[in-house]
């Protein structure tokens, strides 16, 4: 019996992939860095977990040093400012799953390893369609030592939710994030994000373009 559903990232709630890409490009421009990440480039870079890691990888590839921490800082400001000033609807089926879980006393978690600032901005852009109070656990990068694809955040979520791994179903939008669930031995539903439709979700329970309550079936 499923006792908890865990959304694996902010990207499982709302599609922000291209907004993040554009925010990186604006950060490069602000800092006078002559880089531009088009959609194909960004899709490949997303195989690297974490914005700073992507910048470092691209920096090494182009043999040009940039301050990845500064880039990420400026990008985050641009990204969060956009979200705070624009409303974005939840991804297809997310509201249905949350409402079903609440009605059936199924606990709800968000196993994100992004920053608290990013999480706050996501709930702001959702304009109360989904709120923090809907969740029994919300993760962030300050709660664990190792971010995804390590399993730390799932282990933390399971402990805080008070459920066993076989009583839980996860929802993941990227392979890198899904590996975290797999390493924690949590079964997951693949719900690919915009730039992750070609990811290899071989070990998922099922792959959906739209969430529905069938995810709770054993």
110: nearest Cα among 84, 141, 83, 82: 141
Measure the CA dihedral 159/161/166/169, to 10°. -130
Helices 68-85 and 116-125, interaxial angle, to 10°?
20
SS (H, E, C) the chain: CCCEEEECCHHHCCCCHHHHHHHHHHHHHHCCCCCCCCHHHHHHHCCCCCHHHHHHHHHHHCCCCCCHHHHHHHHHHHHHHHHHHCCCCCCCCHHHHHHHHHHCCCEEEECCCCCHHHHHHHHHHCCCCCCHHHCCEECCCCCCCCCCCCCHHHHHHHHHHCCCHHHEEEEECCHHHHHHHHHCCCCEEECCCCCCCCCCCCCCCEECCCCCHHHHCC
The predicted structure's pLDDT at residue 51: 81
The predicted structure's pLDDT at residue 81: 95
The predicted structure's pLDDT at residue 38: 96
Can you give the pLDDT of all 218 residues of the chain as single tens digits? 999 999 999 999 999 999 999 999 999 999 999 999 999 999 989 877 778 888 999 999 888 899 999 999 999 999 999 999 999 999 999 999 999 999 999 999 999 998 898 999 999 999 999 999 999 999 999 999 998 899 999 999 999 999 999 999 999 999 989 999 999 999 999 999 999 999 999 999 999 999 999 999 87
The model's pTM is 0.93
The predicted structure's pLDDT at residue 104: 97
The predicted structure's pLDDT at residue 53: 84
| Domains in the chain: ranges and CATH | 4-14+90-216 (3.40.50.1000), 17-85 (1.10.150.240)
The predicted structure's pLDDT at residue 102: 98
């Amino acid at each position: 019996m499923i006792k908890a559903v865990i959304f694996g990232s902010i990207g499982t709630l709302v599609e922000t992939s291209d907004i993040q890409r554009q925010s990186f490009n604006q950060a490069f421009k602000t800092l006078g860095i002559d880089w531009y990440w088009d959609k194909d480039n960004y899709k490949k870079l997303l195989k690297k977990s974490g914005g700073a890691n992507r910048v470092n990888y691209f920096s090494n590839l182009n043999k040009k040093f940039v301050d990845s921490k500064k880039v990420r800082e400026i990008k985050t400001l641009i990204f969060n400012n956009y979200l705070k000033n624009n409303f974005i609807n939840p991804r297809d089926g997310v509201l249905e799953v949350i409402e079903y879980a609440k009605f059936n006393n199924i606990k709800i978690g968000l196993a994100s390893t992004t920053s608290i600032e990013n999480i706050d901005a996501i709930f702001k852009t959702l304009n109360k369609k989904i709120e923090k109070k809907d969740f029994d656990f919300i993760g962030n990068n300050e709660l664990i030592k190792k971010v995804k694809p390590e399993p730390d955040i799932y282990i933390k979520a399971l402990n805080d939710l008070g459920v066993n791994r076989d009583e839980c179903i996860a929802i993941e939008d990227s392979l890198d994030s899904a590996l975290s669930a797999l390493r924690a031995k949590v079964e997951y539903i693949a719900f690919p994000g915009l730039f992750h439709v070609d990811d290899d979700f071989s070990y998922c329970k099922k792959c959906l373009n739209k969430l529905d309550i069938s995810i709770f079936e054993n």
